[in-house]
Amino acid sequence: MDSANQIQSLVDQVEKNPKYTISEKEATGFLSEMKRLTKKDQTNMPPLVVIIMAYIDMIFPELNEGKN
C-alpha cells in the first residue's frame, strides 16, 4: 500500500470511529509521511490531518524528541 493510501486509510478510520486508538507504528508512519509531504507541498493541510498530528503528539511525545 502506498503512503497516500495509508494516510487516507488512517483518516477514514478516525472519521468513522472518534475513539480509534492509533498504534505507535501507525503514528510514526503518519508523521514521517506528513513531514515529507509538507516539505514538498506548501498548501494548507486539511483540519483533520492537523488534529491527527496533534493527537499523535499527545499520545507519543517521544516521537518528536530531538525535533527542536
pLDDT band at 1 (very low <50, low <70, confident <90, very high): very low
Residue 60 has pLDDT above 70, yes or no: yes
Residue ranges of the domains in the chain?
Answer: 23-68
Per-residue pLDDT for 10 more than 70?
yes
- For residue 43, the 8-state DSSP code is S
Residues 19-52 as b or e (16 or more Cβ within 10 Å = b): eeebeeebbeebbebbeebeeeeeeeeeeebeeb
Please state the pTM of the whole predicted model. 0.51
User: Rg for the chain (alpha carbons), in Å?
Assistant: 12
Give dist(CA 33, CA 19) in Å, integer: 23
Res 45: pLDDT: 65
pLDDT in tens, 16-51: 988 888 888 888 887 787 777 767 666 666 777 777
68 has pLDDT over 60 = no
